[in-house]
């Protein structure tokens, strides 16, 4: 009877990497995690599955169309579509046990049942940090500082953290008589860099703006210059609105705090076109772009919100946070050729066994190296020495240690550096003292 072969394939929109890419992906993940922990954020994890009634407490709209939802027994379950809603549930459920302000980071996969396309997946990693229970503008400055450190260590070239404050935007709209449609105007501004100028005017007119108001809104979003020049220009508008003035003051404090933390001024700028269209943002907002790869779009974004967990508790939990969409960023960097990795393993050393009589000593040497913190592979497969070295080269290991009959007889090992081509010797029983990291 002929065996049936099932074609090995993945569902559309679900990504996976070969070892070289996965090693690089994990390296970036470790940079993010290490930086988050350096800033004092505590790790949490939540289930991939949430009760649908909890996950969809806000209800309605596009979200319900994008979730994976199913019933199992009496449970109506859904896969989480972001890490913010689970955080809201988590903060409300454990409110009495958490210490506020609560600083958390969460790195995990989320799922969205949307149309899969290049750079947009149905399963992807998000890397979030949030501070819950603080209204301090100084806390707002921590996020660009953390972003600066992360992307500097990524080493993908220069980047710009664009900052704004929704209080400035909403206060300005109120000041020119647009209070009743400010949310709609914000949504138009949020997409103004993606549509033609004529379309932009049409969109604003559809919201109900007259020609004078359209002109004022467009002139406002075009204010530019250094951070100090933008702040001075905002003051010069003499907008008689308390929210506007408070928002400008918060932007000034944010800029001063970033300077105090030595974040390079070239990497952050006030940009009045940054609105973040989501309704729950109420204060500072952030978007980060890679200067040399503008087509990638925003690689890290977030902002401040007044009420995180209003659907789950009567306690008002204010917060501020950012998210790095690592899966999309990684895909775009691979596509652009920025990430190139041929390393098939994290091992630094391969021990080449040339003779079966050398097995005990080879195992001893491998144990010495691993005990010293050196990742080591034992290569025991048959073949010529040329074939063995080809394997070491393909694996991307830095050092090759050969152990055979001669090495056992002399007690001296040959260690080849695959990067430089140099060979050095070491006593068989003292291998771990060498610098092979």
Tokens found for residue 396 = 């991307």
Which CATH number covers residue 412? 3.40.50.800
Of the chain, the percentage scoring pLDDT greater than 70 comes to: 96
Tens digit of each residue's pLDDT (9 = 90 or more) over 207-245: 888 888 888 888 998 999 999 999 999 999 988 899 999
Determine the Cα–Cα distance for residues 422 and 172; give it in Å rounded to an integer.
67
My answer on whether omega of the bond before 126 falls inside 30° of 0, hence cis, is no
Determine the Cα–Cα distance for residues 238 and 246; give it in Å rounded to an integer.
13
Position 37 in a domain: no
Residue 406 has pLDDT above 90, yes or no: no
Query: Where are the alpha helices (H) located in 68-109, listed in sequence order?
Result: 84-93
DSSP three-state, residue 75: strand
Position 389 in a domain: yes
Tens digit of each residue's pLDDT (9 = 90 or more) over 66-111: 899 999 999 999 999 999 999 999 999 999 999 999 999 999 999 9
Tens digit of each residue's pLDDT (9 = 90 or more) over 33-53: 999 999 999 999 999 999 999
pLDDT for the residue 62: 66
Determine the Cα–Cα distance for residues 294 and 51; give it in Å rounded to an integer.
39
Query: Where are the alpha helices (H) located in 39-165, listed in sequence order?
Result: 52-55, 61-66, 84-93, 137-154
pLDDT for the residue 437: 56
pLDDT for the residue 200: 81
- Please report, for residues 383, 408, 416, the alpha-carbon distance to residue 389 in angstroms, rounded to integers and kept in the order given: 10, 20, 10
Position 235 in a domain: no
Quote the strand ranges of 261-359, DSSP E: 268-270, 281-290, 300-305, 319-324, 349-353
Kind of pairing, strands 412-417 and 399-403?
antiparallel
Determine the Cα–Cα distance for residues 247 and 168; give it in Å rounded to an integer.
5
Q: Which residue has the higher pLDDT, 294 or 140?
A: 140
Position 363 in a domain: yes
Confidence tier at 407 by pLDDT (50, 70, 90): confident
Q: Do 166 and 186 meet the contact criterion of CB atoms below 8 Å apart?
A: yes
Position 427 in a domain: yes
- Please report, for residues 84, 111, 323, the alpha-carbon distance to residue 126 in angstroms, rounded to integers and kept in the order given: 10, 10, 6
| All residues at 6 or more sequence positions from 96 whose CB lies less than 8 Å from its CB, including other chains | none
Position 412 in a domain: yes
Which domain covers residue 360, as residue numbers?
Answer: 349-433
Position 416 in a domain: yes
Position 356 in a domain: yes
Residues 47, 51, 57, 61, CA torsion sign: positive
As to burial, measured by CB atoms within 10 angstroms (0-12 exposed, 13-18 middle, 19+ buried), residue 246 is middle
- Please report, for residues 369, 382, 428, 434, the alpha-carbon distance to residue 364 in angstroms, rounded to integers and kept in the order given: 9, 20, 9, 15
Mean pLDDT of all residues in the chain?
90
Edge-first strand order for the sheet with 399-403 is 376-379, 349-353, 399-403, 412-417, 423-427
What is the tally of structural domains in the chain?
A: 1
Tens digit of each residue's pLDDT (9 = 90 or more) over 191-213: 887 788 778 888 888 888 888 88
């Amino acid at each position: 009877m002929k065996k049936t072969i099932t074609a090995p394939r993945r569902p559309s929109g679900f990504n996976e990497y070969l070892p070289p890419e996965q090693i690089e992906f994990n390296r970036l993940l470790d940079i993010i995690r290490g930086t988050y922990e350096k800033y004092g954020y505590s790790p949490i994890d939540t289930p991939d599955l949430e009760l649908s009634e909890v996950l969809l407490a806000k209800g309605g709209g596009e979200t319900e169309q994008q979730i994976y939802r199913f019933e199992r027994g009496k449970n109506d379950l859904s896969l989480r579509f972001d890490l913010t809603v689970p955080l809201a549930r988590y903060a409300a459920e454990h409110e009495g046990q958490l210490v506020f302000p609560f600083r958390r980071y969460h790195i995990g996969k989320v799922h969205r049942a949307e149309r899969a396309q290049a750079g947009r997946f149905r399963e992807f990693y998000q890397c979030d940090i949030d501070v819950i229970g603080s209204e301090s503008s100084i806390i707002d400055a921590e996020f660009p500082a953390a972003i600066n450190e992360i992307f500097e260590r990524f080493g993908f070239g220069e980047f710009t953290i664009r900052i704004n404050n929704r209080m400035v935007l909403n206060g300005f709209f109120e000041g020119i008589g647009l209070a009743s449609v400010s949310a709609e105007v914000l949504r138009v501004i949020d997409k103004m860099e993606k549509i033609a100028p004529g379309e932009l005017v049409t969109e604003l007119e559809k919201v109900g703006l007259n020609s004078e108001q359209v002109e004022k809104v467009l002139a406002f979003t075009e204010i530019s210059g250094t951070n100090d020049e933008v702040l001075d220009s905002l003051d010069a508008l003499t907008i008689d609105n308390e929210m506007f003035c408070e928002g400008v003051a918060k932007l000034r404090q944010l800029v001063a705090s970033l300077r105090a933390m030595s974040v390079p001024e070239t990497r952050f700028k006030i940009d009045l076109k940054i609105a973040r269209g989501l309704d729950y943002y109420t204060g500072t907002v952030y978007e980060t772009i890679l200067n040399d790869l503008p087509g990638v779009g925003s690689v890290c974004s977030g902002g401040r919100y007044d009420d995180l967990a209003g659907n789950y508790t009567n306690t008002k939990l204010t917060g501020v946070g950012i998210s790095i969409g690592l899966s999309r960023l990684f895909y775009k960097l691979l596509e652009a050729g920025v990430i190139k990795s041929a390393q098939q393993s994290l091992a630094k050393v391969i021990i080449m066994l040339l003779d079966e009589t050398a097995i005990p000593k080879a195992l001893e040497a491998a144990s010495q190296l691993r005990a010293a913190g050196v990742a080591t592979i034992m290569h025991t497969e048959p073949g010529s020495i040329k074939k063995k070295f080809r394997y070491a080269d393909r694996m991307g290991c830095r050092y090759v240690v050969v152990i055979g009959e001669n090495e056992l007889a002399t007690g001296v090992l040959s260690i080849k550096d695959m990067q430089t081509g140099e060979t050095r010797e070491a006593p068989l029983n003292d291998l771990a003292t060498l610098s092979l990291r």
